[in-house]
């Protein structure tokens, strides 16, 4: 904060701007700090505090529970199913969304630059649609009676799963993963495409003189040049995979028999359907720790970029 | 054409295949919305026989217009608050080398890491305790709060590169800092404002879990919670559900296609 240059001899006028600069800095910062405190930081602290108590949705009485909510979680098989499902979504999304996204981006950048805009628009489009709507469309497509998928499968003489795609606990989480890939692969492609467009063309020209073209150039020039973008993509996907809620809630609600439960939906179920607010807070704290760790990694990696 | 090699065919094939995979579900949604219930059940794949628009009427009567209006209001208000509040904070932070303000910046950035799913219980209790359930304010303020960290970072970087001569001129003319921000800085920050606004609008327009928790009154529901009620409203009326989803999705897709350059640029900013 620089004080205004005071050419005049009056000492008072040299002091006032200093004071008013501080005051205006305070005024400009207050709304942001207030909103973030009330809706982000204080709730986070309350979630941590609440995880050491037992209380219901309407009850005012908080009973001290020590670490029992945590020991309960670590002994709860559904908690572990939820965590495992988050991991499936995270690893599956990294593999397929970033894998396919990279291939698509590389093709559009080097192979088909003239039709890139059209394809980019189509493939990115699901990103702007709400996950709830996406979930509902797919729910109908996958429906055993009216769905398009079963009709296609039957028309080629195969038999679809008896319990339905989302009703069979052994495959439902993989179907959810497929829907997530449908929605977000385009987003990954666009992120990576932005990274590819920053690679100087001369690099490719030089490599081509040395005989490195096509796949060889992709391995030795493209991939190393976008290492940082890929890292950011992995972090965004990982964070998104741990935060997934809408898609599961609108397709399976965590079912059948908790087979597609994730941390987000399990927190919601425990808190607002079963009324175990303290227990829900303990699971929330696990999610919070994972998210903060990943957020910290993201901050570090983006600074390096 | 020597240029049309096998590699090119393969590349076109792969990209076209994925594009088809993306488009077909949306196309099927629209086609299904023009069928009768019986038609959809008998022949899920075929074209609609006589393009029946009854399902669109049934879906609209659930209150789609109301949901869209609520979503427009909530998104507009939240984005406006985010832009102004984050801009003010980022401006102060970018123009200072004070050690404490550096900490304030890191604190705001840290807010980016907190997922809303992890604070549902306290947020719900605070907002229901304040008697603010089922009010648009109950949703606009938390939406604004969760948009501030990322937008502040975005504006911070933008203001660092902002030419200082203009604000010095304003200062010499006797403008206070606050006036300088609103009269000089904000009006000249068009690209950053547009980018931040699109980014936040996409997320707020589609936000679901807080809306699900805070808005039960049908008059106040936003689009994502509104459409989830479609399933309950029409137990086996699939064409009506598909029509409702079309009403919810097609306008957004149209806006996206018209302004795709700006959407892509804005959302790809997350990678930087």
Q: How confident is the model at residue A15 (pLDDT cuts 50, 70, 90)?
A: very low
CB contact under 8 A, B121 and A288: no
Q: What is the pLDDT of residues A63-72, one digit of tens each?
A: 888 899 999 9
Q: What is the pLDDT of residues A203-254, one digit of tens each?
A: 888 888 887 777 888 888 888 888 888 998 999 999 999 999 999 999 998 8
Give the C-alpha separation, B114 to A290, whole Å.
Answer: 10
CB contact under 8 A, B89 and A291: no
Q: Can you tell me which residue has the tokens 């073209």?
A: A213
Give the pLDDT score at A7: 43
| pTM for this model (two decimals) | 0.89
Give the C-alpha separation, A83 to A67, whole Å.
Answer: 20
Sign, CA dihedral B127-B130-B135-B138, equals negative
CB contact under 8 A, B242 and A137: yes
B137 touches chain A (CB under 8 A): no
> Is-contact B214 B127, C-beta < 8 A?
yes
Give me the half-sphere count of Cα atoms (radius 13 Å) on the Cβ side of residue A15.
3
Q: What is the pLDDT of residues A117-131, one digit of tens each?
A: 999 999 999 999 999
Q: Residue A277 is nearest to which of B121, B149, B256, comparing CB atoms?
A: B121
Which residues 62-81 of chain B have a CB within 8 Å of chain A? 81
Q: What is the pLDDT of residues A256-265, one digit of tens each?
A: 989 999 999 9
Residue B64 confidence (pLDDT) above 80: yes
Give the C-alpha separation, B92 to A29, whole Å.
Answer: 7
CB contact under 8 A, A104 and B15: yes
Residue of B nearest to A194 (CA): B268
Q: Can you tell me which residue has the tokens 């987000």?
A: A264
Q: What is the pLDDT of residues B167-225, one digit of tens each?
A: 888 888 888 888 888 888 898 888 889 999 999 999 999 999 999 999 988 889 999 99
Give the pLDDT score at A85: 96
Contacts of residue A256, defined as CB under 8 A and 6 or more positions apart, other chains included, come to A163, A166, A167, A168, A169, A172
> Is-contact A251 A166, C-beta < 8 A?
yes
Phi then psi dihedrals of residue A54, to 5 deg? -115, 125
Give the pLDDT score at A10: 43
Considering only CB atoms, which chain B residues are within 8 Å of A46?
119, 121-122, 125-126
Considering only CB atoms, which chain B residues are within 8 Å of A50?
121-122
Considering only CB atoms, which chain B residues are within 8 Å of A246?
206, 208-209, 224
Q: Which of B60, B127, B118, B70 is nearest to A239 (CA)?
A: B118
Q: What is the pLDDT of residues B4-35, one digit of tens each?
A: 688 888 888 999 999 999 999 999 999 999 98
CB atoms within 10 A of CB A48: 18
Give the pLDDT score at A255: 81
CB contact under 8 A, A130 and B248: yes
Q: Which of helix, strand or coil describes residue A54?
A: strand
Residue of A nearest to B198 (CA): A128
Contacts of residue B269, defined as CB under 8 A and 6 or more positions apart, other chains included, come to B154, B195, B199
> Is-contact B180 B171, C-beta < 8 A?
yes
Axis crossing angle, helix A227-243 with helix A77-93, rounded to the nearest 10: 150
Considering only CB atoms, which chain A residues are within 8 Å of B21?
182
Residue of B nearest to A299 (CA): B109
> Is-contact B189 B214, C-beta < 8 A?
no
Considering only CB atoms, which chain B residues are within 8 Å of A155?
45
């Amino acid at each position: 904060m620089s004080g205004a240059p005071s050419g005049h001899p009056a000492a008072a006028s040299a002091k006032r701007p200093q004071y008013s600069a501080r005051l205006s800095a305070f005024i400009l910062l207050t709304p942001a700090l207030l909103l973030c405190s009330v809706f982000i930081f204080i709730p986070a602290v309350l979630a941590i505090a609440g995880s050491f108590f037992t209380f219901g949705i309407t009850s005012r009485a908080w009973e001290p529970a020590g670490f029992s909510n945590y020991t309960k979680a670590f002994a709860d098989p559904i908690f572990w199913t939820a965590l495992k499902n988050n991991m499936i979504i995270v690893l599956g999304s990294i593999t397929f969304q970033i894998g396919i996204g990279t291939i698509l981006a590389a093709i559009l950048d080097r192979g088909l630059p003239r039709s890139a805009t059209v394809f980019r628009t189509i493939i990115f489009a699901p990103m702007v649609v709400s996950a709830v709507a996406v979930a509902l469309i797919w729910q109908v497509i996958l429906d055993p009676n009216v769905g398009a998928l079963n009709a296609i499968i039957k028309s080629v003489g195969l038999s679809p799963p008896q319990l339905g795609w989302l009703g069979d606990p052994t495959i439902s989480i993989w179907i959810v993963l497929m829907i997530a890939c449908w929605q977000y692969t385009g987003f990954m492609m666009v992120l990576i495409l932005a990274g590819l467009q920053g690679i100087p063309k001369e690099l490719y020209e030089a490599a081509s003189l040395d005989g490195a073209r096509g796949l060889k150039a992709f391995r030795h020039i493209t991939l190393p040049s976008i290492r940082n973008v890929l890292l950011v993509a992995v972090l965004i996907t990982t964070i998104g995979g741990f935060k997934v809620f809408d898609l599961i809630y609108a397709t399976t609600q965590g079912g059948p028999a908790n087979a597609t439960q994730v941390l987000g939906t399990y927190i919601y179920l425990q808190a607002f359907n079963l009324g175990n607010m303290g227990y829900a807070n303990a699971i929330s704290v696990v999610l919070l720790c994972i998210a903060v760790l990943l957020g910290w990694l993201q901050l570090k990696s983006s600074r390096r970029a | 054409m020597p240029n049309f090699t096998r590699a090119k065919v393969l590349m076109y094939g792969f990209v076209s295949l994925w594009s088809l995979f993306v488009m077909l579900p949306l196309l099927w949604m629209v086609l299904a919305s023009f069928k009768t219930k019986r038609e959809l059940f008998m022949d899920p794949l075929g074209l609609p026989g006589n393009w029946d628009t009854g399902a669109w009427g049934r879906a609209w009567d659930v209150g789609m217009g109301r949901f869209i209006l609520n979503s427009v209001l909530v998104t507009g208000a939240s984005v406006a608050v985010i832009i102004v509040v984050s801009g003010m904070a980022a401006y102060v932070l970018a123009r200072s080398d004070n050690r404490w303000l550096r900490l304030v910046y890191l604190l705001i950035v840290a807010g980016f890491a907190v997922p809303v799913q992890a604070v549902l219980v306290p947020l719900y209790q605070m907002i229901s305790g304040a008697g603010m359930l089922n009010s648009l304010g109950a949703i606009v303020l938390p939406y604004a709060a969760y948009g501030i960290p990322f937008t502040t970072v975005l504006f911070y970087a933008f203001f660092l590169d902002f030419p200082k001569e203009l604000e010095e001129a304003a200062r010499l003319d006797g403008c206070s800092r606050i006036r300088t921000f609103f009269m000089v800085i904000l009006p000249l920050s068009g690209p950053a404002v547009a980018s931040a606004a699109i980014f936040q609008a996409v997320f707020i327009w589609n936000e679901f879990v807080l809306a699900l928790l805070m808005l039960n009154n049908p008059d106040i529901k936003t689009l994502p919670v509104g459409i989830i009620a479609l399933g309950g409203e029409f137990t086996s009326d699939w064409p009506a559900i598909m029509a409702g989803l079309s009403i919810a999705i097609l306008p957004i897709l149209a806006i996206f296609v018209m302004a795709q350059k700006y959407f892509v640029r804005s959302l790809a900013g997350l990678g930087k």
